[in-house]
Amino acid sequence: MRFRVVQPWGRDVGSQSTEISRYDTVEAAFGYIDDVAIRLRAQRVASDAIELRVIDDNGVLIPAATSAMSTSVCGWASLVASG
């Protein structure tokens, strides 16, 4: 199963979102979100400037708690799915 980082634009994240990238593991997908958060913070961009979520191939939202990696490295809850 692959995992997608998406930017939602509607209530149903699985079908109403724009795919940003695709990964083989959930850790890699959340790692991408961490990288984005670090870059945004370095540029002093507001934490609510972008919303990114991780979904599986079936469009099911993956809660951040399922990742072994820290998904709030910058403390920006708006970047990740809180489950």
For 38-54, write each residue's pLDDT tens digit.
Answer: 999 999 998 778 899 99
Q: Which helix (H) or strand (E) holds 39?
A: helix 26-42
Per DSSP, the three-state class of 77 is helix
- The pLDDT assigned to 80 comes to 44
Q: Is the distance from CB of 80 to CB of 60 less than 8 angstroms?
A: no
According to the model, what pLDDT value does residue 66 have? 61
Tell me what pLDDT residue 48 has.
79
Residue 43 CA to residue 70 CA, distance in Å, equals 21
pLDDT at res. 49: 86
16: left (phi over 0), alpha (psi -120 to 50) or beta: beta
pLDDT at 25: 96
Instruction: With a cut of 70, list the residues of the chain below it in pLDDT.
Output: 66-83
Distance, CA of 11 to CA of 69 (rounded, Å):
26
